[in-house]
Structure 1
Amino acid sequence: MSESESILATGGSFLRDKWSSEDEELAGPSQTVPPQLPGIQIVSERELAQLAQVRPLLFNFHEQSVIKDCFKMLEKKVAEYEILQEFMTLDYKNIPDAFNSGNELRNREKNRYRDILPYDSTRVPLGENKDYINASYIRIVNSGEEYFYIASQGPLPSTTDDFWQMVLENNSNVIVMITREIEGGIIKCHHYWPISMKKPLELKNYRIFLENYQILQYFIIRIFHVVKKSTGSSHFVKHLQFTSWPDHGTPASVDGFIKYVRYVRKSHLTGPMLVHCSAGVGRTGVFLCVDVVFCAIEKNFPFNIKNIVTQMREQRYGMIQTKEQYFFCYKVVLEVLQKILTLD
């Protein structure tokens, strides 16, 4: 194990949570409720393994040298604890906008956590009246290319209808869920989809059908058919739930998360990618950061993790909550770069 790997692997021993909202666990069982059978194969393990091999568009001598220099620079930052200092310079105090909508009396019960609210300027409006949901548009620009997401809290029982309205109005074909419904004895997210293929989930305005599913080692794939009751219009959504994030800290293995992020990107077709965990800032921020970096590596673009996180925080308060999550971003990127450097 290299020095950087050792630091990253043991980071949890000295990294404490900055926030209580995202990772406030108590003792108790953790669960997600998958169907009883593994489902019909949607993707093979071989395909996932191939997807996990992030490859730059060009890999000549010059590009190999660039990647090697990048790897050494990131490894040095980790080994010398510069990452810790870098995270601490990401200031929570510079709040670029107000939280008026989230603080309105009529909207307070729509927030899972009272300290995690969307900025007024980037919140996702619902319908003609621009109704409230705790979700934010996030646009990340890297090397002139824009990556468009919705970062959302996990739905509550009272906001499930609103959540599906947001999915349809934004024409999002992928939902990225990075939490289990219950973790450490605490409800992290309402079960907002049908459990069985035999019986749809009936909501006030929507009917949700489970068309297919596949249970994999690290995540679950579900295919939903969403019907708007008032018009009969339908929309198909791929729901990708990462089930391997531990109750405390970050995943011990990066391999499963790399496969997950890559499969999500491959599945994305329309609208902003809709990403949520429980509060919609911690694990959600990790996913967005890693996805942008992977896209940059593929296109031989430079990237700066601190800059990516800064852009996210300017659009949703508190994105990437803990030092440990910030370290995990570097750990994942270093793993990918190291594999690239082993290519012939």
Structure 2
Amino acid sequence: MNQKYRKSSDRDRQYSLKSIWRALPSFHSENWDNENEQRAGSSSSQDSPIVTSTGEKIITEEELIEISEIRPNLSGTLLRSTVRNLIEDIEKRIDQKEIFEEFLALENRELLDDCILGNNPENRDKNRYRDIIPYDRTRVSIGQSQDYINANYIRISNAGEEFFYIATQAPLPGTTEDFWQMVWENKSNVIAMITKEMEDGIIKCHPYWPISLTKPLGLQNFLVELENTQILEAFIIRVFKIVNKTGSVHFVHQIQFMNWPDHGIPTSYEAFVSYIRYMKKIHETGPIIAHCSAGIGRTGVLLCMDVVLHALENDLEFDIKTIVTQMRNQRCGMIQTKEQYQFCYETVIHVLRKIQTSARLDKFSIFQGN
């Protein structure tokens, strides 16, 4: 099929920035808590990605703004025509509730694999939520004994490329050692944390990292040291040094997104896009390890949109329904609510509008002789 954008009766849509213009001759161009729930005052945070921290900066404001920009290598005329049509199509589908219907169709699918190991009596206390259990087939195993942790490998194929992640629940006090062992064994250098430790007075994640530069976290097999930290208005960056018993060292970036309530959606499209773009920039080794509280809702949105933003930047086709289906085939319930699912499409619109604006500015600069 030469044209990357297609309309079909089952609403299976492929999007790409080159999609529409190829057909236009006028242009050439995302219950139970195992950890004791406690109530406390809720905290608030801003939704701007601008840097406000003190100390040695890991990233500057200018660098963050720069990496947040998505600028496909396309001409201004092409860009405007393509973007306008894509935005109109997605907005129409949202208005007509087609996106919700698409999500409900995904919800009606049955579980595709066994979850035996996670339900074994010896592993039940390792699950944060009784009904969120990893598939056996794609589960992450740790140690020589292939021990259990509530996590799945997630592989997403899109436009001939493969994206590799680990989706996991937020660590519990009793699974902190297992979590760091998973990080070590998979050689992952990025932990994407999409939750606060406590939300609305309810514990969502055990603080599994050291909070002081002078007081490392001592575990049975690892020493975790906080090397640096930077507080941005939308997310926090922490750099850890992990040392095992042999003295081997591994460095990890943890980036904690602060503006996303459980079962909700982020408070800012721009902050979320900046977060994903920074995550992508610092990723070097192993699968990105992503977790919210349960490791399915917010985590699913994050992984989906990482793939989509890559496609937008590189003018590759993408289909959100297919991406989510792939994720759900490997970990149940990825993207929990219809609002989270629609947010994926709304984020695409946000990015396309920014691209549209950039195209106008670029054209203006050309006319000014710059």
Q: TM-score, normalized by length of structure 1?
A: 0.88
Aligned residue in 1 for 2:368:
none
Structure 1 residue 208 displacement after superposition: 0.5
Aligned residue in 2 for 1:217:
233
Residue 139 of structure 2 aligns to a residue in which SS? coil
Contact 2:31–2:130 (CA<8 Å) still a contact in 1? Answer: no
In 2: Cα distance, 1:252 partner to 1:158 partner: 32
Paired AA for residue 233 in structure 1? S
Structure 1 residue 47 displacement after superposition: 1.5
Aligned residue in 1 for 2:351:
336
In 2: Cα distance, 1:26 partner to 1:247 partner: 16
Aligned residue in 2 for 1:42:
58
Aligned residue in 2 for 1:232:
247
Query: Percent identity at matched positions?
Result: 55
Query: Which shows bigger deviation, 251-260 or 311-320?
Result: 251-260
Aligned residue in 2 for 1:10:
none
Please give the per-residue CA displacement for 1:196-221, whole angstroms capped at 9, x wherever unaligned: 00110111111110001100000000
Paired AA for residue 172 in structure 1? S
In 2: Cα distance, 1:215 partner to 1:281 partner: 26
Please give the per-residue CA displacement for 1:21-70, whole angstroms capped at 9, x wherever unaligned: 8xxx99752359xxxx7442111122211222112233464455333322
Structure 2 stretches of 5 or more lacking a match?
Answer: 1-29, 45-52, 361-370
Paired AA for residue 70 in structure 2? V
Query: Which shows bigger deviation, 152-161 or 327-336?
Result: 327-336
Paired AA for residue 291 in structure 1? D
Aligned residue in 2 for 1:75:
91
Aligned residue in 1 for 2:267:
252
Q: How does 1:44-123 map to 2 (within 5 A)?
A: 44-59=60-75, 61-62=77-78, 64-123=80-139
Paired AA for residue 326 in structure 2? Q
Please give the per-residue CA displacement for 1:185-204, whole angstroms capped at 9, x wherever unaligned: 11101100001001101111
Structure 1 stretches of 5 or more lacking a match?
Answer: 1-17
**Selected match of 1:155 from 159, 164, 171:** 171
In 2: Cα distance, 1:193 partner to 1:250 partner: 26
Query: Which shows bigger deviation, 251-260 or 217-226?
Result: 251-260
Query: Which shows bigger deviation, 50-59 or 261-270?
Result: 50-59
**Selected match of 2:196 from 165, 180, 188:** 180
Q: Does 1:306 align with 2:321?
A: yes
Residue 140 of structure 2 aligns to a residue in which SS? coil
Contact 2:262–2:298 (CA<8 Å) still a contact in 1? Answer: no
Contact 1:219–1:260 (CA<8 Å) still a contact in 2? Answer: yes
**Selected match of 2:218 from 191, 194, 202:** 202
Structure 1 residue 261 displacement after superposition: 0.7
> 1:20 and 1:87, CA in 2 relative to 1: closer, same or farther beyond 3 A?
farther
